Amino acid sequence: MAEIIAIGSDHAGFKAKETVKKILEECGLGWKDYGTRDTASCDYPDYARAVAQSISRGEHKRGIIVCGSGIGVSMTANKVRGIRAALCHNEETARLSRQHNDSNVLCFGERTTEESLIPKIIKAWLEESFEGGRHSRRVDKMEQDRAGENGSWSEKLKNFEAEAR
């Protein structure tokens, strides 16, 4: 069975999201669309969070989210535990996000990404794999609890300050 990629967009990324569907199908992959369904004004956090949570819950391995700039959806997705969303502007940033950061969500902006680059960015991101090695240590650090999540925020701050000395 082909991998199913979670996808989502707001109104400003809707047209590009429809392009994403075609590209995924050309690559032999399926997709699940978490919305939006048209170009009516809507709030990007709703759709970015839905995609990110589906990955965090293990329903999908990877996702692609689009808004006007890509900034809002990447910021929203990265607030979900286990998500490493990368805002990519070209093939190189897409490749590096996979090689060095093990990104599991690709974000880009419909208004800020040349239409001809979209298939290249997506294919580079889909085809690349995580290098591991020294990058594993760094990715593990990204997944550590944030201050205040588990335990006392002030205790974590004290530990951080002590390590910094």
Contacts of 55 (CB under 8 A, 6+ apart): 6, 61, 62, 63, 80, 82, 83, 104, 105
Mean residue pLDDT of the chain comes to: 91
Q: What global pTM score does this model have?
A: 0.87
Residue 31 included in any domain: yes
Residue 164 included in any domain: no
pLDDT at residue 133 tops 60: yes
Contacts of 128 (CB under 8 A, 6+ apart): 94, 95, 98, 99
**What is the model's pLDDT at position 144?**
81
Domain count within the chain: 1
Residue 153 included in any domain: no
pLDDT at residue 159 tops 90: no
Nearest to 8 by CA among 85, 82, 81, 116: 85
Percent of the chain clearing pLDDT 90 (strictly above):
77
Active-site position among 60, 67, 88, 107 = 67
Looking at residue 52, which CATH number applies to its domain?
3.40.1400.10
Tens of pLDDT along 8-58? 999 999 999 999 999 999 999 999 999 999 999 999 999 999 999 999 999
The answer to whether 32 and 8 are in contact (CB under 8 A) is: no
Residue 163 included in any domain: no
Q: How long, in residues, is the chain? A: 165
Residue 102: other Cβ atoms inside 10 A = 19
Tell me the average pLDDT across 95-103: 96
**What is the model's pLDDT at position 134?**
83
Residue 113 included in any domain: yes
Amino acid sitting at position 64: I
Active site includes 100?
yes
User: Which pLDDT band, with edges at 50, 70 and 90, does 106 fall under?
Assistant: very high
Active-site position among 27, 89, 100, 135 = 100
Residue 147 included in any domain: no
Active site includes 88?
no
Tell me the average pLDDT across 113-140: 92
